[in-house]
Amino acid sequence: MPAGPDPASPHPMPGHPRVGFLKAFVTRPTIVVGDHTYYDDPAGPERFERDNVLYHFDFIGDRLVIGRFCAIAAGARFIMNGANHAMAGFSTYPFAIFPDWQAPVPDLAGRGDTVVGNDVWIGMEALVMPGVRIGDGAVIGARAVVTRDVAPYAVVAGNPAAEMRRRFDDATVAALRRIAWWDWPAETIQRNLAAIAGADLAALERAAAGH
């Protein structure tokens, strides 16, 4: 019996082509997606790279890195550093993109990579801005505009996104990040799904000790 769905499967839910493991659809080396992270969209997950990762230009060099076991809802988008305009000078107009303007090319990669941790839930039509880092276990509300880093296991919502609450206390968050069940082999995850999906930290710690 297989230990869960094949992480390389484009459509891990038979009869539901709207759900796809993103790893099967990503082709660009500047987008890295972990196992079992899925995108759910009635238009099809195969459009994610084109329609949901915007202003992502190779010459800038920034990366979008998404961890394992993330759930991304329809219309969630990542704005990359290519959307930035230089603001140090008097004008923000991007003269350098037009061949007929002889202007210096600004460095737009200053905000760095956009990084999403593991076991993150991103709601419908959320917008993640360049260089943001979202911690493990975080929840991003529908249509949130994420302009700054999100702490592990925080719930954020709104425009700009603000922290509504933490899912667990600091000690529990520290334990969950130390356990890091998302890094376990698939067979171990399969054996311990009740502990992973439950809310009994002692049970999860026992599972971690036994794996």
Cα–Cα distance for residue pair 49/5, rounded to 1 Å = 22
Contact 167, 150 (CB under 8 A): no
Q: Tell me whether residue 85 is one of the annotated catalytic residues.
A: yes
Contact 131, 121 (CB under 8 A): no
Cα–Cα distance for residue pair 67/151, rounded to 1 Å = 15
Catalytic residue (one of 11, 16, 85, 211) = 85
Catalytic machinery residues: 85
